Amino acid sequence: MRKIEHIGIAVQDLEESNALFAKLLGKKHFKTEKVEGEAVETSFFQVGETKVELLQATNPNSAIAKYLEKKKPGVHHIAFDVENIEAEVERLKGEGFEILNETPKQGADNKLVVFLHPRTTNGVLVELCQEISVNSK
Ligand SMILES: C[C@@H](C(=O)O)C(=O)SCCNC(=O)CCNC(=O)[C@H](O)C(C)(C)COP(=O)(O)OP(=O)(O)OC[C@H]1O[C@@H](n2cnc3c(N)ncnc32)[C@H](O)[C@@H]1OP(=O)(O)O
Ligand SMILES: [Co+2]
Q: Is residue 53 part of a domain?
A: yes
Which CATH number belongs to the domain containing residue 49 in this structure?
Answer: 3.10.180.10
Closest Cα partner for 89 from 80, 110, 35? 80
Q: Provide the residue range defining the domain that includes 116.
A: 3-131
Q: Is residue 137 part of a domain?
A: no
Tell me whether 0.95 is exceeded by the ipTM.
yes
Q: How many domains does the chain have?
A: 1
Ligand 1 atom at shortest distance from the alpha carbon of 113? 5
Q: Is residue 136 part of a domain?
A: no
Global confidence as pTM: 0.96
The ligand that comes nearest to the alpha carbon of residue 107 is: 1
Closest Cα partner for 11 from 71, 61, 100, 78? 71
Average pLDDT over residues 68-93: 98
Q: Is residue 90 part of a domain?
A: yes
Q: Report pLDDT digits (tens) over 93-115.
A: 999 999 999 999 999 999 999 99
Q: Report pLDDT digits (tens) over 15-42.
A: 999 999 999 999 999 999 999 999 999 9
The reply to whether ligand 1 has any atom less than 6 angstroms from the CB of 127 is yes
